[in-house]
């Protein structure tokens, strides 16, 4: 399966938190990184690459708790 979204932005754009806004057949309007991966439907490894931490870690840090659930 090919990914038509590859190259819509640069690796530096991704590192800077800038993503291409695209129209996906499955998701509709969404944002993708330079590899063509949707930033909203990612795994923990991809979250760490994009954000430097997982969503659960971000929520825990934001809420001032040490748990990974981010409650």
With H, G, I as helix, E, B as strand and everything else as coil, classify residue 9.
coil
Q: How confident is the model at residue 57 (pLDDT cuts 50, 70, 90)?
A: confident
- The answer on 32 and 46 residing in a single domain is no
pLDDT value at 66 more than 60: no
DSSP SS3 for 31 = strand
Same domain, 2 and 33: yes
Please state, in angstroms and rounded to a whole number, the distance separating the CA atoms of residues 15 and 33: 9
Q: Which residue has the higher pLDDT, 3 or 11?
A: 11
CA of 38: how far to CAs of 24, 61, 70, in Å? Answer: 9, 24, 23
User: How long a stretch of residues is the chain?
Assistant: 71
Whether residue 46 sits in one domain with residue 36: no
Q: Check whether residue 7 and residue 31 sit in a common domain.
A: yes
49 and 18 in a common domain = no
Answer yes or no: do 33 and 9 share one domain. Answer: yes
In this structure, are 25 and 49 located in the same domain? Answer: no
Which letter does DSSP use for residue 46 in this model? H
pLDDT attached to residue 24: 80
Q: Are residues 30 and 4 in the same domain?
A: yes
Domain of residue 25, residue span: 1-40
């Amino acid at each position: 399966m090919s990914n038509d979204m590859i190259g819509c932005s640069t690796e530096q754009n991704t590192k800077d938190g800038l993503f291409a806004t695209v129209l996906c057949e499955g998701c509709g309007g969404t944002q993708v990184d330079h590899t063509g991966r949707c930033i909203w439907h990612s795994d923990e490894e991809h979250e760490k690459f994009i954000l430097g931490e997982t969503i659960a870690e971000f929520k825990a840090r934001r809420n001032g708790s040490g748990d990974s659930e981010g409650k």
